[in-house]
Amino acid sequence: MSLSVRSMCRGDLAEVVRVHQISFSGFFLNKLGPAFLRRYYAAVLDFADSVANVAVDENGVVQGFVVGFKNPSAFYRYLKKRRLRFMPAILLALMKQPRLLLEVVRSEARVSRRGAADDTSKYGELSSIAAARPGTGVGSLLLLSFIDALRRRGCQRISLTTDKTGNSRAREFYRRHGFVEVEEEQRGTRTLIVYAMDLSDVPSDFRQGSNP
């Protein structure tokens, strides 16, 4: 399969949501439904310092995507200002699954806490990366594009979080591509690992390994 990477546009949102739902079945954002996911990825696209790329095959079909941003605290402040736009989708999800309320409250608190963080203008955060068919090299291609984009924007460090348990394949993927574990983070009953990459340590000819 021939793949190429380009910037995500609004016309990709339906396919991005489709790939997200395939890749993150059972995760919190997925439980909020496709309407919420579409609004979230639209918000990422509207943020001035976002990085949002898609990998497409020879037929132009989206096979994966990566999204994140420079200056995470600014992004979370921006997201909080737009929270009313998410309310219809959130209320619909809560009507169907009232047990999500606690997770919604925790998520809102996290957005507020991250938005209040000290200056992060030299840092980047990988928010989400997904492939419709793992094992095809999509993840590696997208991760390389993301790292390169943030390096070009003057970022000094990239961070991301991923689940600690039952997630060995993803954790190995990040380790193999140069990320190191820096700390653990507790979100309700979930334990996550925070990974980071110092971009000053990344050589200019850096290339990714294969996608898990």
Average pLDDT over residues 4-21: 96
At residue 208 the predicted structure's pLDDT band, cuts being 50, 70 and 90, is very low
DSSP character for 164? S
Distance between first and last Cα of the chain: 16
166-183 mean pLDDT: 92
**3-state DSSP of 46-106:** HCCCEEEEEEECCCCCEEEEEEEEECHHHHHHHHHHCHHHHHHHHHHHHHHCHHHHHHHHH
Distance in angstroms (rounded) separating the CA atoms of residues 187 and 106:
8
CATH number of this structure's domain 4-155, picked from the four choices 3.40.50.170, 3.90.230.10, 3.40.630.30, 3.40.1190.10: 3.40.630.30
Question: Which structure tokens are listed for 58?
Answer: 């020879």
* pLDDT tens profile 43-61: 999 999 999 999 999 999 9
For CA atoms 23, 178, 153, 70, give the dihedral sign: positive
Tokens of 81: 């200002």
Using one digit for the tens of pLDDT, what is the confidence trace for 129-163? 999 987 788 999 999 999 999 999 999 999 999 99
Per the CB < 8 A criterion, the answer to whether 43 and 36 are in contact is no
Please tell me the distance from the alpha carbon of residue 105 to that of residue 186, in angstroms, as a whole number. Answer: 15
The interaxial angle of helices 83-96 and 72-81, nearest 10 deg, is 70
